[in-house]
Amino acid sequence: MLAGCLFDLDGVLVDTARHHFVAWKRLAEEQLNVSFTHEDNEALKGLSRVESLDYILSKSTTVASAEQKLEWMALKNQWYLNAVQSITPDDLLPGAQALLRSLQDANIPAALGSASKNAPMIIDQLGIGKFLTAIVDGNVVTLSKPHPAVFLKGAELLGIEPPRTVVFEDAQSGVQAAKEGGFYCVGIGRKEDLTGADQVVPDLSFITIEKLNNWLNNN
């Protein structure tokens, strides 16, 4: 039976990707004089802030010091934070609140597993902290996906075993992290973008506890 659930944040519970895109694009074009496309933004899914900056730097001829990188990351993050100040519970993606509430009603623990260091602030603005037993983010673990550290830490905090835990992910690196950690992984998005996921659905409105139990029992 289902022991617990671990949720990625961006693209699973809420869509803040558009704000990341605008902020990274502005940094790339204004500070590094390189283009930044939607395809580039997809490549950053699941990466940490420093890994994202290194990806953008790889597209330029700029050689940056550690101090300069910190300044650019802080600048990008400030632009992003300014943009997400307007996030409210209405920005939750389809099915997110209903699933979290049903898990709580069934006494099945849930946790967040995200690389974002801004996760606590966004969770607070979304009003879903009451549904989460733990928040594991970039402030808790330093190893980014596809390393499974964020999900393993989440399972540890919930006191549950990976094989009976479902991870919800929208990024290929997140799917890899979940499977590497021994979890059952449900991808959110398109099947062709989420290789290795045990199941793929368009959004969380397609998920019920009964369905999760059936999948785990047949795995």
Say whether pLDDT at 187 is over 90. Answer: yes
> Would you say the C-alpha torsion 120, 122, 125, 126 has a positive or negative sign?
negative
pLDDT band at 212 (very low <50, low <70, confident <90, very high): very high
pLDDT value at residue 118: 86
Say whether pLDDT at 46 is over 80. Answer: no
**Active-site residue, from 8, 40, 137, 170:** 8
Nearest to 8 by CA among 110, 83, 77: 110
pLDDT tens, 143-155? Answer: 888 999 999 999 9
- What is the domain partition of the chain in residue ranges? 4-14+88-217, 17-84
Q: What percent of the chain has pLDDT over 70?
A: 100
HEC per residue, 5-60: EEECCECCCECCHHHHHHHHHHHHHHHCCCCCCHHHHHHCCCCCHHHHHHHHHCCC
pLDDT tens, 54-113? Answer: 999 999 988 899 999 999 999 999 999 898 888 999 999 999 999 999 999 999 999 999
**Active-site residue, from 10, 40, 137, 170:** 10
Domain 17-84: CATH superfamily is Putative phosphatase; domain 2 (1.10.150.240)
Q: Does domain 4-14+88-217 have CATH number 1.20.120.420?
A: no
Contact 166, 212 (CB under 8 A): yes
pLDDT band at 219 (very low <50, low <70, confident <90, very high): confident
8 is catalytic: yes
15 is catalytic: no
Task: Dig out the tokens for 205 from the structure.
Answer: 């409105």
